[in-house]
Amino acid sequence: MTDEDGASTLEPLDLDECRRLLRESTVGRVAVAVHDFPLIVPVNYRFVETSGPTWVVLRTRAGSLLEQAPMPAAFEIDAIDAQHHSAWSVLVRGTLHRIDPESADLAEHFDPEPWADGERDVWMAIEPFFITGRRLPGGTPSWAFQPEAYL
């Protein structure tokens, strides 16, 4: 989509596309407020869809700032194509909960398998109340050099 000047404009992603992107990705960022200041940390995650609630599941260390964070949370995944000036992002806003990995066989089926070394035995989940997304479709690729300079 472009505006009347030919510039790319943001397009909303529907819920099905947002869910598809959440299923396909495994790394995102969690945002919470800690001591009245924002804290944003990268995490490995799994998007869990059951017949009941939907969750963004992650693991952290016992005693971490993430484990101690208050319940309101946001979670984002995105991708950027700098050459084509295109991008998309999905934002999940919800409530952060500590969960028992044995419930609903989470450990067996939905382990986010953290990349970082060390114990990550505290399981957390964000229960979404909003899932939204948007896409910047981009345009013509930009060249690193002006073609006219070589003609």
Q: Percent of the chain having pLDDT more than 70?
A: 74
Q: What is the pLDDT of residue 67?
A: 82
Residue 140 has pLDDT above 80, yes or no: no
The confidence band for 145, taking pLDDT boundaries of 50, 70 and 90, is: low
Mean pLDDT score across all residues of the chain: 82
**Category of 138 on φ-ψ map: left (φ > 0), alpha (ψ -120 to 50) or beta:** left
pLDDT at 105 over 70: no
User: Which pLDDT score, from 0 to 100, does residue 151 have?
Assistant: 53
> Which of 90, 105, 121 lies closest to 25 in space, CA to CA?
90
Spatial CB neighbours of 101, under 8 Å, sequence gap ≥ 6? 107, 111, 123
- Please give the C-alpha separations between residue 89 and each of 5, 20, 34, 119, in angstroms, as whole numbers: 24, 12, 24, 30
Residue 108's φ and ψ, nearest 5 degrees, are: -75, -40
Where in the chain are the domains? 11-150
* Paired sense of beta strands 46-49 and 27-34, if any: unpaired
Whole-angstrom distance, CA of residue 145 vs CA of residue 93: 42
What confidence tens digit (pLDDT) does each residue in 5-20 have?
555 688 999 999 999 9
pLDDT range class, residue 65, cuts 50, 70, 90? confident
CATH of domain 11-150: 2.30.110.10
pLDDT given at position 78: 96
Which residue did the predictor score with more confidence, 139 or 112? 139
Phi, psi (rounded to 5 degrees) for 20:
-60, -45
